[in-house]
Every structure is written in C-alpha cells, then in structure tokens.
Amino acid sequence: MCLTDCDSHLSLSPVFCLQNSLLRSYKKEAKMLVLLAGLFVVHIATAIMLFVSTIANVWMVADGIDSSIGLWKNCTSGSCDGSLSYGNDDAIKAVQAFMILSIIFSIISLVVFVFQLFTMEKGNRFFLSGSTMLVCWLCILIGVSIYTHHYAHSEGNFFPSSHQGYCFILTWICFCFSFIIGILYMVLRKK
C-alpha cells in the first residue's frame, strides 16, 4: 500500500496508489533534470561571456571619440594597434593571466560536471565541479579587482573622460554567475 493519500481512502485501488507514487517520482526527476539542464546552459553562457570579455578590447571606452582600451590592444576609429601603452605593466599582465585562468577553470568545471553527470552514483554531490567553478570565481575576482584598482578610475586611464566598456561589465556578471553555479554544484545531489 502507498503511504500517501491512498491510506486515508481505503476505497482506492493499490494500482492507483502505485501509479500516483510513480507519477510523483517522475515529477521530482523531471524537476531535477530541468534544474541541471538550466545550470548547464548558464555555465556554457558564463564560459562564452568570459571568453568574449577577455578577448574583446572594450574594457574602457572614451566619451566623445571612437576609442577603447582592452586587455590586449588599444582601438581607435575601428582599427586596433598591436600594443597597449601600458602593456608592460605587471598589473595588466596579472589581469590577463587571471582572466585566462578563469576561462580554463570554467571549461574544466563544465567537462567535470558532464563527466560526473554520467558516471557519478545517485545521491552524491558535484563537489569536484563545484570547487573547480569556485576557483574560476576566485580568478575572476582577483583579475577584475586588479583591473579596477589600477585602471578603472579616472587617474589610471588614458582618456580625459571615459566609462567602463561592456567587457568590464560582462566580467562582473560572470563573477556573479560563477559563484552561483559553484555553490549550486556543491549543494545539488544527483537524483
């Protein structure tokens, strides 16, 4: 007999109780599947945004003129020259290194998650993929904090009036997403 609503209604058949119990079980599995699929999609989107924010040269944008500065090049009027005016600074090299590391750890975490999804026993948590994603989060935090400290304020940039570009904003969004993804991986159990 079922230990659900069927116990209170003795007139219900055991077959109905079994069907009702199986239906509830399938609903729980479907919810978990939707949650894992959503997490997977957000993780892929985060990795893509990290890649775009690291490669594109729009971290700082000049007001009034068509110029921007990225982690790798200076761009003016649609053409980018091959060097940064501050390219030899240790700070920008550290930002470049930490942003590349964040991409690497994000991709490793995604691969580990897919591997764990198919090989891990039911009831276990995604600790390895979660901890790898939290290392990605830490790399983003360090990289964007160094950039913010050295280049995001008015004294550190090379334009008289400027604002943050979309790459800088994307990086902070990736910072939030990677933290949420890492924590969810650590909390979720495979069902």
Residue from 145, 61, 54, 158 nearest 96 by CA = 54
What pLDDT, on the 0 to 100 scale, is given for residue 2? Answer: 47
Confidence at residue 39, expressed as pLDDT on a 0 to 100 scale: 92
Q: What is the pLDDT of residues 48-72, one digit of tens each?
A: 999 999 999 888 888 777 888 888 8
Low-confidence ranges of the chain (pLDDT < 70): 1-26, 28, 85, 87, 123, 154-160, 190-191
Residue pLDDT, tens place only, 108-122 = 999 999 998 888 777
Look at residue 156 in the predicted model and tell me its pLDDT: 53
| Residue 59 exposed, middle or buried by CB count within 10 Å (0-12, 13-18, 19+) | buried
pTM beyond 0.95, yes or no: no
Q: Please write down the HEC assignment for all residues of 127-177.
A: HHHHHHHHHHHHHHHHHHHHHHHHHCCCCCCCCCCEEECHHHHHHHHHHHH
End-to-end CA distance of the chain: 24
8-state DSSP, 89: -
Domains of the chain: 35-187 (1.20.140.150)
